[in-house]
Amino acid sequence: MRIGFIGLGIMGNPMAKNLIKAGHDLTVHDIVAERIKDVTSAGARAGSSPQDVAARSEIVITMLPNSPHVKEAVLGSNGVILGVKPGSVVVDMSSIAPLVAQEVSAGLAQKGIDMLDAPVSGGEPKAIQGTLAIMVGGKAEVFERVKPILLKMGSSAVLCGAIGSGNVTKLANQIIVALNIAAMSEALVLAAKAGVDPELVYQAIRGGLAGSAVLDAKAPMVLGGNYKPGFRIELHIKDLQNALDTAHAIGVPVPLTSEIMEIMQALRVDGKQQDDHGGIIQFYEKLAGQLVRGAQ
């Protein structure tokens, strides 16, 4: 199948390469030329613009930073909407505001083009492995058509409802992930300052009720002082802002989300916005005057 892929950053790059490995004919585009060169060297073809990518493709996938980028790439000048062919499907795998997903979908619908919003969870490691969790909103028949392609990039793809539902699900996911990292951070800093080896604390609790995919992904990183981004704090701030805006718009109080947002904002002010979101622990280390890495 001829697939277009727009957005070749930390996540988009390995996702696109997994589609190439699966044997798909891939045309790609990114505003950074070096990213295009890297993926074309793996077997893709370069598109000169989102419009050009869409003109060459049956399925167009976008994986971009935030709502304005998706609107511009799909509905803007040189956008997907100007090149997409009847019968094609646009799949936005970015994490954006649900209302924007609905707006973009409505714009495409005027040309008879179906869209799915299909944000992902798992960060760079699972993008590389092709084991992302994919949360999808849209028509059931469109989802079934695209699902085999999604499963070349993820280990699961679940239809959550109508268009926008994928991003509502992703916002719920991001709240849970952020608060899990914060809880882990508080606990490990407490252990370290109490004189208990945080590595042993992690090993002791990971098999019990406190164990989680978040704990297993992030504890080894923070114990080694590794904040190389799989998912940057600044991107998590973007997702939590979308969560707060959505929650406030529909009358849902989210006090813990507000609190972790302020912690991330403090880290951004401290110049740590490009650290992995596991770097939330640095906020607690600073408050307690206690480093977790190397503590025993």
CA distance 155 to 118: 14
Which pLDDT value is given to residue 224?
95
Q: What is the mean pLDDT of residues 33-43?
A: 97
**Tens digit of pLDDT for each residue in 120-142?**
999 899 999 999 999 999 999 99
Domains delineated in the chain: 2-162 (3.40.50.720), 168-288 (1.10.1040.10)
Residues acting as catalytic residues: 170
Please give the pLDDT value at position 180: 98
> What is the distance between the alpha carbons of residues 254 and 198, in angstroms, rounded to a whole number?
30
- 145-167 pLDDT, tens digit each: 999 999 999 999 999 999 999 99
The pLDDT value given to residue 186 = 98
- CA–CA dist 85, 90 (Å, integer): 10
Cα–Cα distance measured from residue 24 to residue 22, given in angstroms and rounded to the nearest whole number: 6
How many percent of the chain have pLDDT more than 90? 96
What pLDDT is recorded for position 296? 55
pLDDT of residue 295 exceeding 90? no
- Rounded Cα gap, residues 100 and 164, in angstroms: 8
* Identity at 44, one-letter amino acid code: A
Q: Which residue has the tokens 């695209």?
A: 146
Average pLDDT (14-22) is 98
The pLDDT, as a whole number, for residue 230 is 85
Q: How far apart are CA 263 and CA 280, in angstroms?
A: 7
117: enclosing H helix or E strand: strand 114-117
Please write the tens of the pLDDT for every residue from 212-246. 999 999 999 999 999 999 899 999 999 999 999 99
pTM: 0.92
